[in-house]
Amino acid sequence: MAIPKAERLMNLALCLRGSGRPLTKRELRTTIEAYLEVSGEDAFNRMFERDKDDLRELGMVIETVESVDGEIAYVARPGSNRLPPITLDVAEAAALGLAARVWQQARLAGAASGALQKLRAAGMPEADGDRDSGSVLEPRIPGGDAAFEPLMIACRERRPVTFPYRKSTAARPETRQVEPWALECWHGHWYLAGWDRDRGARRVFRLSRIMGRVTSRAGAFTAPVPDRVEVREAVAAWAGETALGRARIRLRADRGYPLRARAHEVRRIDDEWDELEIPHGHGLGAWLAEFGPDVVVLDPPDLRADVVDRLRAVAKG
């Protein structure tokens, strides 16, 4: 039966962390059973490189040194691998436990539980089981976008990427070359902010519109990375949540609750109609058209024309 990968990684980790001295590749090859079973140097070398990468992903710092007889050797020194002392109380432990559960993205969900386990091993107390959990609130961070993981790593390592991107109004995707800065989740969707090389400008991309593989490119960033990346502001403005002015409308009584909820002012005109002053932002015309005969736009004229135009298109059938 093949030796489980977890056993192989565990053995390599214990050797590198516990040996107290650098171990040569040959020593590791001849003492870890899973490596003994590999036939062929190429196969072993590939496996060994992957394994070191996996352990680094788990947080290990593995140093490469040259041994006395000129061989390459590896060691994970205690000083650079140890979790610094951290003391958390029961309430803090419980709060982190709740926070760790919000990820639905598999890699980060695993990483969050892994972090808690390390903290537990470092002495983090357990939340009292009988404590009123009170966690009636269950926030969730969505996963599921295939582009998330490669982009997260590219942002972290500052690596340029390319991906096929379909704008919301385009039929076919187009290849975009981007220097990725940051990812942000807002209203349940993931967005990427970065420098669009072809357009020579900063852009925000919605991950669900990335239609294929995210590919890393060689080379460094060409544009400076801003200290603060404003993803949410850009998306909010586009979604019409940033008011650019005000609009005046007539609204049928008892209708259009969301319009009333954000109105600056509501005035009763007669038994049938109210007059409202509402914030005017991107996309308001489309939204007002939804209310059909229950809304009449009074001002500004371009908004009025936009709504009339939309209604005419529908009225034609």
Partner 1 sequence: MASNAIDRTRRMLSLVTYLRDRPGARVEEVARAFGVSEETLISDLRLLPMCGISYRGGDLLDIDTDGEQIWWHNADAVSGGAREPLRLAADEATALLVAARAVAALPGLREGDREALLTATAKLEAAAGETARASSRLTVTFESEGEVFADVDRALAERRRLRLRYYSPGRDAVSEREVDPIRMVVVGHTYLEAWCRRSEARRTFRLDRIAGLEVLDTRADPPALEPRDLSAGLVQPAPDDPEVVVEVGPAGRWVAEYYQPESTEELVDGGLRITLRTADPAGLRRLALRLGRDGRIVSPPELAESAVTAAREALAAYE
Rounded CA Rg of the chain: 29
Residue 65 makes contact with partner 1 by CB under 8 A: no
Task: Tell me how far apart the alpha carbons of residues 284 and 55 are, in angstroms, rounded to a whole number.
Answer: 52
Q: Does the footprint of partner 1 cover residue 263 (CB under 8 A)?
A: no
Residues in contact with 243: Cβ distance below 8 Å, sequence separation at least 6, in sequence order = 279, 280, 281
State how far the Cα of 98 lies from the Cα of 276, in Å rounded to an integer. 43
Minimum CB distance to partner 1, residue 157 (Å):
9
261 binds partner 1 (CB under 8 A): yes
Place of tokens 């059973």: 33
For residue 198, the minimal CB distance to partner 1 (Å) is 20
The residues in 139-168 that bind partner 1, with binding defined as CB under 8 A, are 139-142, 152, 155-156, 168
Q: Is residue 241 a contact residue for partner 1 (CB under 8 A)?
A: no
Q: How far is the CB of 162 from partner 1 (least distance, A)?
A: 19
Which two structure tokens, joined as six digits, stand for 18? 């516990």
Residue 2 found at the interface with partner 1 (CB under 8 A): no
Distances, alpha carbon 308 to alpha carbons 238, 247, 257, 272, 279, in Å? 22, 15, 22, 21, 19
In the region spanning residues 18 to 37, those forming contacts with partner 1, defined by CB under 8 A, are 18-20, 23, 27-28, 30-33
CB of 259 to partner 1, least distance (A): 10
| Per CB under 8 A, 47 contacts partner 1 | no
Q: How far apart are the first and last CA of the chain?
A: 68
Q: Is 94 in the site for partner 1 (CB under 8 A)?
A: yes
Q: Per CB under 8 A, does 196 bind partner 1?
A: no
Q: Of the candidates 218, 226, 238, 173, which has an alpha carbon nearest to the alpha carbon of residue 201?
A: 226
Candidate list 37, 66, 290, 302; residue touching partner 1; CB under 8 A = 290
If binding is defined by CB under 8 A, does position 112 make contact with partner 1? yes
